[in-house]
Amino acid sequence: MKIGFIGLGNMGAPMAANLAEAGHQVLGYDTAAPEPDGVSAAASAAEAAADADVVITMLPNGKILRSVADQVIPAMRAGAVFCDCSTVDVDSARAVAEQARNAGLGALDAPVSGGIGGAQGGTLTFMVGGDDAAFATVKPLFDIMGQKAVHCGAAGAGQAAKICNNMILGVTMIATCEAFALADKLGLDRQKMFDVVSTSSGYSWSMNAYCPAPGVGPTSPADNDYRPGFAAELMLKDLRLAQAAAEGADADTPMGALAMQLYRSFVEEEGGTGRDFSAMLPRFAEKSRG
């Protein structure tokens, strides 16, 4: 396929490179980042989109997505598919999808889970909203960039699935870090703690696959001085999106709200910016109950 790829940052660049390596013709554009190997450079977002079968965007937020959509959608040929892989608010995802459909395009919102490592390794999970035909068109590309693509429903359903998933992730990571900090103060060895919890009712992805304790469990950012695989500020972004969606839907999410407050404090007041979201463990380990 001919693919326009807009947004070549930490996630977008390896995703685009994997598509090019698989033999697709990828024309990329970013306002700052260079094109990865195998990806040709476009002079603008509209140029990247003009002759594409599929346009993929990976952008920081809904405001930028809407701005890029205004540039890209008029340049796309009828019948092409606009596929946004950013994590944005549900309203922006639905508005851009409607804009694309009104222009005679297919539209998908397809946020991802798996972080930078998943983007590099082609093991992302895609949570996809949009119509069946557009999903069928892009599914072979999802299979290159990831290990799983779930068609969650109509426009906005992909973003809904992503923010619900990451609300769970934020809450469970905090609980995991709290438990390790408590274990420390009770004199329980961290490895013994892991050995019990990872095979008992307290097991979770945060514990078993992404353990926040250095030297315990599989290798994780904790073993690299908490350099981010998934930055704390990105977790804060997703928790804010979840709370905005919960407010709009009149959903009671007290644990999600508290997780957002804790990550806000960590990122904005406690030096958490640029650290992995699992760096909540040293944060809790250093604090007393008061």
Backbone φ and ψ of 56, nearest 5°: -115, 130
Q: State the Cα–Cα distance between residues 263 and 275, nearest whole angstrom.
A: 11
Q: Which of 83, 74, 107, 113 is nearest to 16 (CA)?
A: 83
DSSP 3-state of 272: coil
Let me know: does 69 contact 49? Beta carbons within 8 Å: no
Query: Rounded distance, CA 225 to CA 197, Å?
Result: 23
User: In angstroms, rounded to a whole number, what is the distance separating the alpha carbons of residues 237 and 5?
Assistant: 23
What is d(CA 5, CA 38) in angstroms, rounded to the nearest whole number? 12
Q: Is 192 a catalytic residue?
A: no
Phi (first) and psi of residue 31, to 5 degrees: -70, -20
* Cα–Cα distance, 73 to 198 (Å, whole number): 47
Residues composing the chain = 290
The DSSP-derived string for 219-257 is: --GGGGTT--SSBHHHHHHHHHHHHHHHHHHT---HHHH
Paired residues of 273 in beta bridges:
none
Of 63, 139, 162, 287, which one is the catalytic site residue? 162
Question: What's the Cα-to-Cα distance from 128 to each of 30, 131, 210, rounded to whole Å?
Answer: 23, 9, 24
Catalytic residues: 162
